[in-house]
Chain A
Amino acid sequence: MTNKPNAKLMTGNEACAEAALVAGMRFFAGYPITPSTEIAELLSRRLPQLDGTFIQMEDEIASMAAIIGASLAGVKSMTATSGPGFSLMQENIGYAAMAEVPCVIVNVQRGGPSTGLPTLPSQGDVMQARWGTHGDHPVIVVAPSTVRETYDWTIKAFNFAEKYRVPVILLLDEIVAHISEKIVYPKDEEFELVSRKITEKDPASYLPYENTDSDIPPFAEFGVGYRYHVTGLSHDETGFPTNNPEKVDKLNRRLNRKIERYRSEIIHYEESFLDEADICVVAYGSAARSAYRAASDARKLGYKVGIFHIFVLWPFPYEALSQIARRVKFFIAPEMNLGQIAHEISCAIKREVIKVNRVDGGLITPNEILEKIKNVQL
């Protein structure tokens, strides 16, 4: 990463690929799919230069499997896809959650359902990112809205994956992925890089799924003398399958507690102009870009509008929204879906949310949000 120019015009997909390398990602497996393909293309060029591995697999199921295998060898790993491929990955995302294998899955959202609109944006996978694989499982989902944010949050996604030993989903959308913006490169040293905690125990006393105080078992990579078992079946602390209700209950509760208890460290949002606001626009991803413009225009017209910009979608910031709901009356949620996050917001604020939705492949314009602001009966 030497001789890097200070500023560059780049797309979100490019920022994601470069930032993943800064984070220490050295294994990428993927399958071509619009609008995420540039990430694979770029990494097929960059990884061999850095002693990393790029492999194009036969499908997304295999891509997800391969990054889990590589991560068990101790290498930070990633894949990138879009809606239909993300659906295929669900099986092994569940495996990564169950076997506690750190990895990052980039989903550049496009119009759905099914093959939908391959070249057009959407935010339709927000719920799938949380609940796509079967069973109660832990997962972290982050959603940047600009190229620079994509750069930063790609690195943070790896840090989360490594720290909590979970699959982390980086939810981009076609706009964020393909928009070209000037980005001033941060220096690599500006980022704190996290790597999974390695066990200090000797192989004889190592328990790969030990119930520790932190709820996050220390890791041992394959091939260094710790000959342990990894399975997607419910397992005990040795990693061996079990049907024992007590042990299975303990595992399932720990897996979910592992994220729940650290939610304040994980959750991230930014508030703007909310102190005096009557109206709060809750937005994430590329819809947040329009929300900022709409709020700024509205304020010029005298409306007291603030923004609650969510970066970490899951775990969801229920507590923060609930606090804001004590002083702000109206909530508007622009989303390129039919209200997936609006429902979560209403759970937090205990009232209806004014929705601005598009599912036609078009982006939500500032004017569409502004109209809703103007129509609020204060």
Chain B
Amino acid sequence: MFNYDKYLRTDKLPHIWCTGCGCGIVLKSMLRAIERSKIPQDDIAVVSGIGCSSRTPGYLDFNTLHTTHGRAIAFATGLKLAKQKLKVIVVTGDGDATAIGGNHFIHAARRNLDMTVVIYNNYIYGMTGGQVSPTTPAGKRGSTAPYGNVEPAFDISRLAIAAGAPFVARSTCYHAVQLDKYICRGIKKKGFSVIEVLSPCPTYYARPNRLGNVVDMMEWYKNNSLQIEVARHTPEEEKKDKITIGILHDTERPEFCEVYQQLSAQAKKKYVE
């Protein structure tokens, strides 16, 4: 079996996450995907914002950058452009990526700079104690929505596709093996790849919404997910409350670094002449 210690800063453990949190599942899946991708450890940079998920890089033995709230993708943009041999993986959460960092997220997708963004979507702000996020379903409770959430939720994957990301996949912490595959595909994709992972927060999402413990949440992911291959043949009415998982979008678009290099070569030629 693959030894995770190779990629962990074991002296920084134990981690800060609650019992039953999905962050550790995504972390391990990411490490299996990195191992499978065969990318040298020194060439990997993991960049995060603020929140529970964003604490991931601290435990990982790569070039790691824990930035400000919502800004991980913007920091990662500078890092990648200045050193293009780096494989940049951004680790972020639903609030970090789609509320405070929403602008950076959509523009990075549009720009199609080569990086992989793994979004842990737990429907809540965990680090600050359970406030509603842009992905909290309407009607669900949070500490800032004691009567239920007034707002409708973002569909992160659809948002990424609409903004131009050429590779978008969704999985859950229950479907961890599938998740390995998607993260690995995302890493290998030349371009902006987004992997959304539904991740349980038993402490701040399940508890106020009476959704049981983490086992119940895993059961819920299992019973309410629909593989994309199946979903394609399922009538709209039947998949209304289901979560479609799988590779939702995979296409080719010119990648920013490549386009910039071509442009730079031309500009240089003219300059020298």
Residues of A bordering B, CB below 8 Å:
26-27, 29, 45, 48-51, 53, 55, 57-59, 61-63, 65-75, 77, 91-92, 95, 221-233, 240-241
Contacts and interface: CB of A to CB of B under 8 A. Distances in A.
Contacts, number: 141
A63 B64 CA distance: 20
B271 interface: yes
Contact of A240 (B12, B43, B80): B12
A228 B64 contact: yes
Interface of B: 9, 12, 41-43, 45, 47, 57-58, 61-68, 71, 74-83, 85-86, 103-104, 107, 260, 263-264, 267-268, 270-271
B77 A55 contact: yes
Contacts of B103: 58-59, 62
A53 B75 CA distance: 15
Nearest to A75: B82
Nearest to A59: B103
A223 B43 contact: yes
Contacts of A51: 264, 268
Contact of A231 (B41, B66, B71, B79): B66
B68 A70 contact: no
B56 to A, nearest CB: 11
A241 B16 CA distance: 11
A92 B12 CA distance: 26
A226 B42 CA distance: 8
Nearest to A72: B79
Contacts of B270: 49
B58 A69 contact: no
A315 B205 CA distance: 48
A65 B82 contact: no
Q: Is the interface of B mostly helix, strand, loop or mixed?
A: helix
B58 A65 contact: no
A230 B88 CA distance: 15
Given A48-B268, A51-B268, A68 B78 contact: yes
Closest 4 pairs (CB-CB, A-B): A69-B78, A66-B78, A65-B74, A69-B79
Given A225-B42, A240-B12, A53 B63 contact: no
Contacts of A72: 65, 79
B49 to A, nearest CB: 10
A70 B82 CA distance: 5
Contact of B74 (A48, A62, A224, A227): A62
Contacts of A221: 83
B81 A70 contact: yes
Contact of A229 (B66, B75, B80, B85): B66
Given A27-B81, A51-B264, A240-B58, A62 B104 contact: yes
